[in-house]
Structure 1
Amino acid sequence: MGRGFFAEIAHQQRLHEQQQRRQAVAAVQASNRAVREAERAQREYERAVAAYERAAEREQAYARAAAKEAHVNARRAEAESRTAHAQDAFEQIDSILAATLDVDDFVDLDSLKTVAEHPPFPRDDLRTPLPKPPRVVPRPEPEFVAPPPPTGLSKVFSKKKHAEATAEAHALWEETHKKWAHRAHTVLPAMNAEALENWRTAEQQREKELAEAEDQYRRECTERERHAAEANERLQRFKDALAAGDPGAINDYVGVVLGNSAYPETFDVVHEFDFDAELGELTVSAAVPPPTSVISAKAFKYVAASDEIRETACTQKEQRDRYNRAIAAVAIRTFHEVFESDREERIKTISLTVQTDTINPATGLVEKFPFVAAAADRDDFLQYDLRHVDPVETLALMRAQVSRNAFGLKPISMARGIR
């Protein structure tokens, strides 16, 4: 069987933990530095090209040279980055067994509990009331200002003219006052009343939308809580069944353990397994990538004369030795992780096959190629100090069937079974 529900959760957690650990590894740091240098050089190249395009004709020769130099630096940095990436990939493959030895493969199932994670309320803007519109007030009421009375001799001769000016000013004031009164007592009250009504309508709409958004958010939170509760109830049933020694639960726990086993991206491994409670035996099949999918270039060099990045491939012997060692490491790692994680010691023996599915160059058809068939007894296997073993030699000690050349797709015979 493949990864189940809890196995997938564990697998993703282990991938995250493995990534965090690898960030501190010198090879990764070197790779990251090379990547940053490549990116920096590329940015300089792009800036130089832009400068070249902007440069005046008399400056283009200099800009052209700077752009060429930046391009060369960028390509060299890219080659160095690709080399660092390749070396890091090789280091991960070469340490398949070592990578698991500092990790306790026992899985505390409580670590798989689900906690509902709620996003922030998406409509916080609706929680702020709309500002009440300011009341528009009329300008001060216009006052009548009579023309200044005549003085001196003009008091005798300009009485009529002054009276006419006063009457004209009063008529103008009356017209102005009439307009002011209409605006102050009719127009502005209507405007204020309309603005206030529009505000009330908008506020009611805001409150309605807020209530709907909060209700929707509560429903979504409730649904997330429900899913989390159901997952945790399922987990508790799993824990109870495992504590009771239920064979199906033991099988599922193995799935969690092997799902928690994070292999390099360039050498991923998928397990299928089945537990026989009567015999206390776990049968495991580990599917590894075929030789053709494993990285083979070990170095990259920029050649300025042809403006190309050339790769240096590993020799056939290097590829063969690395692949064959990796196959053996997968086998020993699988035994180790299952036995170490089974603290209740319910799994007494493991029967293991390591194989790949790929095209048979003789038939053109996809076929299974078994490379390792091995069986291990718990008590015997746990005596080994895996920090100091050669996995190939360990398999030989266990009398396992091992392909003479897995890299060359030379399968073992399964005629006599695993034992």
Structure 2
Amino acid sequence: MGRRRGFFAELQYQQRLAEQQQRRQYAAAVQARNRAVREAERAQREYVRSVAAAQRAEARDQAAAAAAAKKAHIEAQKAIAESRTAQAIDAFEQIDSLLDATLDVDDYVDIDSLRQSVQHPPFPRKDLKKPPPQPVLAQPPAEPLFVAPSAPTGLSRLFGKRKHEEESARAHAVWAEQHRQWTDYVERVLPGKNAQLLEEHAAAEQKRAEQLTAALAEYRAECAERERTVAEANERLDGLKKALAIGDPEAINEYVGIVLGHSVYPEVFEVDYEYEFDPELGELTVTVIVPPPSAIPNVKTYRYVAASDEIRETPCSQKEQRDRYNGAIAAVAIRTFHEVFESDRDGRIQTISLTVRTETVNPATGLNEAFPLIAAAADRQEFSKFDLRNVDPAQTLAHMRSQVSKNAFGLKPISTARGIR
């Protein structure tokens, strides 16, 4: 064997995982946990505020402020303990309902539902599509006009003629210098300024155009790559669909991987698979790899003890841990039978030979080893008669004459000498 999730199986697994996580957002246990977390955060904020108030208080208010801070701290710790307890309860409920979680789900996977469509993100540099605004060119100032001094009148006309001529000459000289400066500015300085503005605008526009060209080329290349990837995936999907129609063993293996990838387990009890289909026997051999007992949560409640200012754990008893783990692996076995048979509408898989094992360090040797815990075989026709809503998975396995570890929680392996059947 040695098969793990294939291309389409991984896609299906990730999609189902996202859907499951979204659904669980609205589950009552999660809502309770979120409420507890919010309360813990609120209490912690209140505690921080109380501490700050205590530090700012006058000497006469220190006692009252310290008492308020202590009360807020106690409430914060209680809320944290309640939040952790809610999370523990949620985790245990998920583990205890591994079989129930799949019974309301149609495990058949329509291959066409895996068909992809190209989803292009918007062009990220829309700012480059807008050219820079035209520069505002400087306009020439008004041309200076010569204003002659007022002509003398009266007696001044008779005796001030020379003075008037001198004033006129000075005024003309001032005007001439102003006009010279104006002419120099209009004919030399102003054109240079405007030319620089136009040059800077042209350079900015050229830079924008070059950046836009490069950004569009990169974006179009990324779009082309996305289209190529999707086209290849859909072409592979078409090939898988045709191969399934004629019962190709490799296609059936791929489909089994899709189905098992569609079966998403809770984060606290994730599983993996190895599988191989034998077309001559119509039998699927599958190994389910489950977490070791040490990976399963073992604290059921958290309680704040004010006297010691600590949050204490209440662990599950050995019996509770053993019963939960043994029940979980039995549920995994029955769930896997159910999901594979239900998904195979064409009935190509007639029997399933299943092993449930875990991989962990052997406490006797210190080496990482595989521990087979369940070996079971199921016939499609017989298994389809079971009403799984009303079964105890452990008793179902016993009814099917399965080999089941007498102490899976203690890592006591079953004997594989005689095989599954």
Considering the TM-score relative to the shorter chain, is it more than 0.5? yes
Cα distance in 2 for residues equivalent to 1:116 and 1:182: 64
**1:56/1:176 CA distance change after superposition, 3 Å:** farther
Residue matched to 2:388: 386
Residue matched to 1:405: 407
**1:57/1:111 CA distance change after superposition, 3 Å:** farther
Residue matched to 2:73: 71
Q: CA deviation at 1:372?
A: 1.1
Cα distance in 2 for residues equivalent to 1:58 and 1:164: 90
Residue matched to 1:173: 175
Pairing 1:150-229 to 2, within 5 Å after superposition: 150-229=152-231
Q: CA deviation at 1:238?
A: 1.1
Q: CA deviation at 1:56?
A: 5.4
Cα distance in 2 for residues equivalent to 1:186 and 1:53: 71
In the TM superposition, what whole-angstrom CA distance separates every residue of 1:214-253 from its partner, at most 9, and x where no partner exists?
1121111111111111111111111111111001110111
Residue matched to 1:376: 378
2:263 is the alignment partner of 1:261: yes
In the TM superposition, what whole-angstrom CA distance separates every residue of 1:182-241 from its partner, at most 9, and x where no partner exists?
101221012112211221222122112211211121111111111111111111111111
Of 34-43 and 175-184, the range deviating more from structure 2? 34-43
What amino acid does structure 1 have at the position aligned with 2:224? Answer: T
Q: Percent identity?
A: 66
Cα distance in 2 for residues equivalent to 1:70 and 1:111: 53
Match of residue 35, structure 1, among 24, 34, 37: 37
2:295 is the alignment partner of 1:293: yes
Residue matched to 1:247: 249
Cα distance in 2 for residues equivalent to 1:210 and 1:79: 56
Residue matched to 2:97: 95
Q: CA deviation at 1:49?
A: 3.5
**How well do the aligned residues superpose, as a CA RMSD in angstroms?**
1.6
Query: Which runs of 5 or more residues in structure 1 are unaligned?
Result: none
Q: CA deviation at 1:311?
A: 0.5
Q: CA deviation at 1:92?
A: 0.1
In the TM superposition, what whole-angstrom CA distance separates every residue of 1:92-137 from its partner, at most 9, and x where no partner exists?
0000000001111111122222333323222212111111111101
**1:164/1:212 CA distance change after superposition, 3 Å:** same
SS at match of 1:207: helix
Cα distance in 1 for residues equivalent to 2:103 and 2:46: 44
Query: Which runs of 5 or more residues in structure 2 are unaligned?
Result: none
2:9 is the alignment partner of 1:7: yes
SS at match of 1:345: coil
SS at match of 1:129: coil
Q: CA deviation at 1:268?
A: 1.0
Cα distance in 2 for residues equivalent to 1:15 and 1:232: 22
Residue matched to 2:236: 234
Of 108-117 and 262-271, the range deviating more from structure 2? 108-117
Cα distance in 1 for residues equivalent to 2:219 and 2:58: 60
Q: CA deviation at 1:52?
A: 4.1
Residue matched to 2:331: 329
What amino acid does structure 2 have at the position aligned with 1:274? Answer: E
2:283 is the alignment partner of 1:281: yes
SS at match of 1:105: coil
- The TM-score, its normalising length taken from structure 1, stands at 0.96
- The TM-score, its normalising length taken from structure 2, stands at 0.95
Pairing 1:110-121 to 2, within 5 Å after superposition: 110-121=112-123
Cα distance in 1 for residues equivalent to 2:150 and 2:408: 120
Cα distance in 2 for residues equivalent to 1:360 and 1:193: 83
2:321 is the alignment partner of 1:319: yes
What amino acid does structure 1 have at the position aligned with 2:152? Answer: P
Of 110-119 and 69-78, the range deviating more from structure 2? 110-119
Q: CA deviation at 1:35?
A: 1.5
Cα distance in 2 for residues equivalent to 1:378 and 1:387: 18
**1:202/1:91 CA distance change after superposition, 3 Å:** same
Residue matched to 1:144: 146
SS at match of 1:367: strand
Residue matched to 1:81: 83
SS at match of 2:19: helix
Cα distance in 1 for residues equivalent to 2:277 and 2:174: 108
Q: CA deviation at 1:375?
A: 0.7
2:133 is the alignment partner of 1:131: yes
Q: CA deviation at 1:54?
A: 4.7
